[in-house]
Every structure is written in structure tokens, then in C-alpha cells.
A and B are shown apart, each in its own frame.
Chain A
């Protein structure tokens, strides 16, 4: 029998609990490998139901200033995709339940070599991939090899994904569907809850998969609002901004930046967890 993936198991559990999941995004290697690993290990206890781990890239065309800066900090500290897989391996020594999805741009995966990457990623304990610049039109590049290796390849749907295009986007989707709440870059505007609810319902019906929403969700209130209408809420820029502010406040002590991030994660995770009871 095919083993149930960590993503499927986690979303099943969330459905049984009748609540949405909280999915924090952090950049692997930001601000350095050790701090990033410590943060990653502490996130599940702070309420992370799954983790989106950013793969740094010099040219993040869909990211706003906060995540651009996070990627640059990681690059400056010597982060590479190889080290990101090492980070996941270390995390997996202690946590075999929390799904990890890598999110990034195609070129680092391309440079690693697709066949070698999907094998190594699977072995490291990665569960899924979100590759921003690989639309369904470029499926042969990485989605097919990733699926063959047992990794979920998460589709992005956006406000520009119209009804005519939806089947192409959802065909072969796996894991969950990531709904980008608004046309724009990360950390800027966010979508309006009514429109997001409608889009999420359509995506869920058409794909049979859980739907996560992200982009521009910065407050516990907004996270809770979305948690009532989708299966998971992704927060990235707000956490990364908190990290950046803490690093600025105490430049010599990156370890001191961990707690402020976890504290915000607990607030957001708590709001998501409680949303449907409210």
C-alpha cells in the first residue's frame, strides 16, 4: 500500500479537528544556518501545522521587499539548496510529522539537477515543492520527476486563473492548492475574504484537495478571517519582517531574533486555530 504522505495525513487530521491549519513561511538559512535551524525546530511547538521553507534566489521576481531581503541575508550567510536539504534532514531527526514544503524559483533546482534533487529532497524529508516560475505549461521540467519521486507539487492558483484555465492548473495537482489571494508580490496587499472564500470553494470542488491561502496576510485578525473559509493560512512576510526587525535591534545576537518570531507565530497560529470556534 502507498504510504500516506505527511501533507495528506496532516490535512486529514485538520479536517477531523474541524479547523484550518497554520503554515508559517521562513527563509532557509535566514539569517544564518544555525539560527534558521533553531527557528525551524521550534515552529511546530509554536503552532505550525506545516512549514513553508523558502529556497533563496538572487532574483525573486514574485516577492516583495521583506522576502527579497530574507533571501539576500541567507545568500550572504552562504545558504545553498544543498544546505537547505541538510536543514530539513536535521529537522527530521526530531520531527517526523510536520510537513515541509520548499518554496522557491526554478533555477537553483535546475542547477542542482532535477533527477538528483528530487531523490535527495525525498530522502531529506521534504514533502512538497512550490516553484513559482513553473506553471503547468512547464510541467515536464520538474513536476513529473517530483511526482515520480513521491513529492507533492503544489499548484498555485491566482485571481487571474479564470474558469477556462482552471482545469489546466488543477490537472495533476497534489498535496494542496495554494491560492494566491491577490495579484501582486508577497507581503503587499491581500485579498478580500469574500472573494477568497468563493475562489477557495471553487478550487476545492474542482480539485478535491485542501486549499491554502497566502500573500499579504499579516495580522491575527486577517489570518482568522481566512481560517474560516480555507483549509490553511500561510503567513510569510510578517514573520520575516519580525525577524528582520529583531536582527536590526540586536545585530550581534541572531539567536535573540528567534523568540520574537515564535511569539508572532503563536499569535497567528492561535488565531487560526480558534477561528472557527469564534
Chain B
């Protein structure tokens, strides 16, 4: 594929990143996504919109999130790395945001848009519940009724978040179709939207869906990468040599990556969920194990069979348990600008424990996938190099899942 002049120019006016993206929605929804794209364009040019968003990001979300040098983790890597190896590991600490993950960056942007458009009802889909919690939070803050669709399987494995959403006044509707996870929740949210076209704003949580969602979610999440860039210059006087993030749909990753795409000295690595292993078929790694197709409004890499039927994803992490990926990642994968690797359930679980023990930070299972590969990557890098990883969520929501897997009788290590 020909190398573009900039990796940051997309999408085109049809919402395409190369051949990926687009607007593959039912006619009923098409006028709605067109109107949203128009309103978003207007908002982008409106200084008042930016001022309002910045105000809430600072005073409500708690931005900027810190950049943190993970010193003990770095020492741990260096202890077993070859002489002169072992990059400095930094975390971008988006797990410290209000509600415990990066998701609220995007929800805040979208709910301000919903208000501009005069919409009076909010819907969302959620996997791990982080996006559901963030949506319920902003809906409560602005006094709008909110319905969150969540796969019945996820309702079961993410109980603390379900309760949190209910406390925040949202109605959580369990979805029993399919494997009852994130994909099925998204189908049901789309069915709600197609039925309630006049008053409802659909806050999509990941950088996927019909145009303008992938672009819009990316823009709202890019605050992560913009801050990290400035903070890294301040801390180290230069940019990192490698940046890493986990990928389900890919919103935290595109948020970190996008501001760095045109910095050729920065190696960029996304980490998909390999579940039980890529060769078992039980995974959620659509870039490593899927092929291009069309689902949920966009062309992207999908886990699918010969007939184009979507396969169920599997991951220990409900937030990565999705058989597709944002279209911009599909494009970055094909252009080769970003390298996509994967980590298994087991590797993520080990990294989860390692981070808690060494840094006193309990990561969400999602960034634990990135951490598993980051530790390995850092060991291969020189000691004077820098690796930055997005700690996109905290693990409070996962402690019961992990407890079930490890047993709670005594500490695992």
C-alpha cells in the first residue's frame, strides 16, 4: 500500500479511512447519522463547544490525567533483561478519570453534542460496563434519561458496574441474543435507535459504527495522546520510542495513537485480546484473526466465517469481547503504521497481578493485555529508551472475575 503524506488526514467526507469505515446503516438511520455529522462539524468550529468540553474535562472528569513513571515495573523488567536493555515504562493514567476509565472523555463530548441537538433521551451499549457507567454518569449530570443495553453474560460478570449504572439512574436492559455480549448489546441499541428516531441520541462507546462515530470518538479520545505528548516532553524532554494500548473496538488506543501517527520515531503497537489463544478460535483479535467485512455501520476487520456470519468473540475481558475493530485501526493495520499484536487471557491475568503487586495499581483486565506485551517489549528495548502505555481503566470492576479465576483463599503470589 502506498504511504500517505499524513496518517492523520482521515476520514474522507464519506467517512472512509482507505477502504474502511463508511455509513452502512438502514435508511431509517441514515438521515440521523448525516445530521449528526453536520452538527459535529459545526461544533468542531465553535469555540464555545470546545470551552464547554474543556471545562467539564477539567472540573468533572479530572483531566489532565497524570503521566507516571512505573519505576518498580521498569526495575523488574531490567532485572531479567539483557545487559543495557529494559526501557523506562510510563503509564498514561486514564484509569484515574472520574468513573475509572477513558470512556468518559468521549461520553462528555457526545452528551454536549446531544444537548446542542436538542435530544432528550440517551442510549448506549456496553461490554465491561465502563462505557455504560460513563454514559449513565453524564446522563445523570445533565438530567437526561438513559437506557444502557448490556449482554446478559456481561450483566452477570460485571455486576458492580450494573449496580453502579442503576445507582446513577440508568435503566440497564440485559440482551439475551447471540452470546449475549457487546456485539449483541450494540445490535439492540441500534434497534432502539431505529425505533426512537426523534428524541434519542446514541452514545457509541468505541471508535466504530457509522461515520461520523469513528472520527468523533477518536477526536474526543485524542485528549489522551495530546496530553501524553506534552507531558512526555516535560518529563523527558522528548517523545517516547514506543507507545502501546489495548484494542477491543479501539477507542483508548486511537486516542493515544492519533496525535503520534505522524511522528515517525514513535513505534506504535496495539494489543488485541487473544482469549484462549489465536489458534483455538476462541479470541477477540479481529485484526490478527479476522478479515474485512461490514458490521454495525462500517467496513472493518471482523471475525466471521466463510458465509459472512459473524463469529462470537471470546476474551476474559468483557471490554475487548467484540468481533470487530474500529475502521481507522483496520486502515492503520493495512498501511503498516501501527503494529497489532495480541495477548491471551492468561497473559493478561498475570500482568494484572504483576502490576498490582509492583506498582500498587490494579489495572482493568483490558489494559492488562497491553501491559503483558509492554513488559516484553520493554525488555527488548534499550535502557535509555522510553515505552508509554495507556492505563485506560482501573480493575475494581474485575476483582470478582479475577477472584473466581484465582481463588480468594490467599494471595496469588
A-to-B contact residues, CB < 8 Å: 56-64, 68, 75, 80-82, 106-112, 132-135, 137-138, 155-162, 165, 169, 180, 183-185, 188-189
From A63, A81, A138, contact of B308 by CB (8 A): A81
Give me 8 A-to-B residue pairs in the complex whose CB atoms sit less than 8 angstroms apart, sorted by A's number: A61-B296, A62-B191, A107-B294, A111-B307, A135-B23, A135-B25, A160-B31, A183-B196
List CB contacts (< 8 Å) of B329-383 with chain A: none
Please determine whether B191 and A135 come into contact, CB atoms closer than 8 angstroms.
Answer: no
Please determine whether A185 and B191 come into contact, CB atoms closer than 8 angstroms.
Answer: yes
Please determine whether A110 and B293 come into contact, CB atoms closer than 8 angstroms.
Answer: yes
B323 to chain A, nearest CB (A): 9
Task: Report if A180-B14 is in contact (Cβ < 8 Å); known contacts: A62-B194, A107-B293.
Answer: no
A103 to chain B, nearest CB (A): 12
Q: How far is A132 from B190 in the complex, measured between Cα atoms in Å?
A: 13
Query: Which residues of B are found within 8 Å of A138, using beta-carbon distances?
Result: 22-24
Q: Does B27 contact A (CB under 8 A)?
A: yes
- Closest A residue to B312 by beta carbon equals A58
Please determine whether A156 and B23 come into contact, CB atoms closer than 8 angstroms.
Answer: no
Task: Report if A158-B27 is in contact (Cβ < 8 Å); known contacts: A61-B187, A138-B22.
Answer: yes
Please determine whether B26 and A57 come into contact, CB atoms closer than 8 angstroms.
Answer: no
Task: Report if A160-B27 is in contact (Cβ < 8 Å); known contacts: A107-B310, A183-B194, A188-B195.
Answer: yes
Q: How far is A75 from B24 in the complex, measured between Cα atoms in Å?
A: 23
Chain B contact-residue range equals 20 to 34
Point out which of B28, B29, B31, B304 has the most chain A C-beta atoms below 10 A from its C-beta: B28
Please determine whether A107 and B308 come into contact, CB atoms closer than 8 angstroms.
Answer: yes
A8 to chain B, nearest CB (A): 23
Point out which of A57, A61, A132 has the most chain B C-beta atoms below 10 A from its C-beta: A61
Query: Which residues of A are found within 8 Å of B32, using beta-carbon distances?
Result: 160
Q: How far is A109 from B22 in the complex, measured between Cα atoms in Å?
A: 17
- Closest B residue to A132 by beta carbon equals B26
Please determine whether B194 and A185 come into contact, CB atoms closer than 8 angstroms.
Answer: yes
From B29, B31, B304, B307, contact of A80 by CB (8 A): B307
**Apart from A159-B197, A160-B197, what 6 extra A-B contacts exist at CB < 8 Å?**
A62-B191, A107-B304, A110-B293, A111-B304, A137-B23, A188-B195
Please determine whether A158 and B293 come into contact, CB atoms closer than 8 angstroms.
Answer: no
Q: Does B178 contact A (CB under 8 A)?
A: yes
Please determine whether B26 and A161 come into contact, CB atoms closer than 8 angstroms.
Answer: no
List CB contacts (< 8 Å) of B178-199 with chain A: 178, 183, 187, 190-191, 194-197
From B14, B28, B309, B310, contact of A160 by CB (8 A): B28
Query: Which residues of A are found within 8 Å of B27, using beta-carbon distances?
Result: 135, 155-158, 160-161, 169, 180
From A59, A109, A188, contact of B187 by CB (8 A): A59
B201 to chain A, nearest CB (A): 15
Q: How far is A60 from B24 in the complex, measured between Cα atoms in Å?
A: 13
Please determine whether B190 and A61 come into contact, CB atoms closer than 8 angstroms.
Answer: yes
A183 to chain B, nearest CB (A): 5
Query: Which residues of B are found within 8 Å of A57, using beta-carbon distances?
Result: 308-309
- Closest B residue to A106 by beta carbon equals B294
Point out which of A58, A111, A155 has the most chain B C-beta atoms below 10 A from its C-beta: A58
Q: How far is A135 from B34 in the complex, measured between Cα atoms in Å?
A: 12
Query: Which residues of B are found within 8 Å of A165, using beta-carbon distances?
Result: 30-31
Q: How far is A124 from B94 in the complex, measured between Cα atoms in Å?
A: 55
From B190, B191, B307, contact of A108 by CB (8 A): B307
Please determine whether B294 and A183 come into contact, CB atoms closer than 8 angstroms.
Answer: no
Q: Does B306 contact A (CB under 8 A)?
A: yes
From A56, A133, A159, contact of B26 by CB (8 A): A133
- Closest B residue to A169 by beta carbon equals B27
List CB contacts (< 8 Å) of B291-329 with chain A: 293-297, 302, 304, 306-310
Query: Which residues of B are found within 8 Å of A63, using beta-carbon distances?
Result: 191
Q: How far is A185 from B177 in the complex, measured between Cα atoms in Å?
A: 15
Query: Which residues of A are found within 8 Å of B309, using beta-carbon distances?
Result: 56-58, 75, 107-108
Query: Which residues of B are found within 8 Å of A82, using beta-carbon distances?
Result: 307
Please determine whether A111 and B306 come into contact, CB atoms closer than 8 angstroms.
Answer: yes
User: Which 4 residue pairs of A and B lie closest in terms of their CB atoms, listed nearest first?
Assistant: A111-B308, A108-B308, A80-B307, A184-B195
Query: Which residues of A are found within 8 Å of B195, using beta-carbon distances?
Result: 183-185, 188-189
- Closest B residue to A65 by beta carbon equals B177
- Closest B residue to A61 by beta carbon equals B190
Please determine whether A133 and B197 come into contact, CB atoms closer than 8 angstroms.
Answer: no
Query: Which residues of A are found within 8 Å of B295, using beta-carbon distances?
Result: 59, 107
Task: Report if A183-B197 is in contact (Cβ < 8 Å); known contacts: A61-B296, A107-B293.
Answer: yes
B313 to chain A, nearest CB (A): 12
- Closest A residue to B178 by beta carbon equals A58
Q: How far is A112 from B191 in the complex, measured between Cα atoms in Å?
A: 26
Q: How far is A81 from B187 in the complex, measured between Cα atoms in Å?
A: 21
Q: How far is A207 from B239 in the complex, measured between Cα atoms in Å?
A: 58
Query: Which residues of A are found within 8 Å of B25, using beta-carbon distances?
Result: 133, 135
Please determine whether A135 and B306 come into contact, CB atoms closer than 8 angstroms.
Answer: no
A112 to chain B, nearest CB (A): 7
